[in-house]
Chains A and B, each alone.
Chain A
């Protein structure tokens, strides 16, 4: 199964940009790159996803390398509410129309005031 590699933890200051890296060197052509985050005692929350092109939404931006073997989640201005575990996930094609979201251990983001 395709795996992702993320740093265990990162630290940022409030109102500064944050770049969260993810390596997925065994990604397949039909695998979507998803990012979710999880606040303490809550279920994961969708952040963003993409296939080949960079993506932007109200929460974040996703920059995907040209060879798709790595990606970066960009939070443009970190707030204290962005402190969470961030998961980079490959929505892996497993045949037919069945994809499986396979989670890794994620990156614990700490935001300092």
Chain B
């Protein structure tokens, strides 16, 4: 299995509080991604990174920010959590894009009350 770890695995937080989710990899892969998964929507891309300090928005980036200060860590921050951000969040990594496979973490279940 690819070395990819998400933390925390479960979190309950209150509306309006900041939340940071961490994705840590030991594979030295260049590309990292954050997705959210909700019933009826499949997985939707939030943000992705194509190198240290290089990030870009996905299709559902509003309300989220990311940072990547070193290759192995990709942080997803909800500046002020809302109930609509209750979801399961998945991190993924890949060596390159297009002609390669991506590896996914086990997910973080976030509940905003």
Interface residues of A (CB under 8 A from B): 1, 30, 32, 34, 36, 41-46, 49, 51, 87, 91, 93, 97-106
In the complex where A44-B104, A97-B97 touch, is A103 in contact with B48 (Cβ < 8 A)? no
User: Please, which residues of chain A bring their CB within 8 A of the CB of B33?
Assistant: 101
Any A CB within 8 A of the CB of B14: no
User: Please, which residues of chain B bring their CB within 8 A of the CB of A98?
Assistant: 48, 50, 56, 97
Q: Do the beta carbons of B103 and A32 come within 8 Å of each other? A: no
User: How far apart sit A91 and B97, CA to CA, in the bound complex (Å)?
Assistant: 8
User: Please, which residues of chain B bring their CB within 8 A of the CB of A87?
Assistant: 42-43
User: How far apart sit A102 and B42, CA to CA, in the bound complex (Å)?
Assistant: 10
User: How far apart sit A25 and B5, CA to CA, in the bound complex (Å)?
Assistant: 36
Q: Do the beta carbons of B106 and A43 come within 8 Å of each other? A: yes
User: How far apart sit A51 and B50, CA to CA, in the bound complex (Å)?
Assistant: 22
User: Please, which residues of chain B bring their CB within 8 A of the CB of A45?
Assistant: 104
User: Please, which residues of chain B bring their CB within 8 A of the CB of A49?
Assistant: 99-101
Q: Do the beta carbons of B45 and A101 come within 8 Å of each other? A: yes
User: Please, which residues of chain B bring their CB within 8 A of the CB of A34?
Assistant: 101
User: How far apart sit A87 and B45, CA to CA, in the bound complex (Å)?
Assistant: 14
User: Please, which residues of chain A bring their CB within 8 A of the CB of B107?
Assistant: 41-43
Other A-B contacts than A49-B99, A105-B42, 6 sampled, CB-CB below 8 A, are: A32-B99, A45-B104, A93-B98, A99-B98, A101-B33, A105-B40
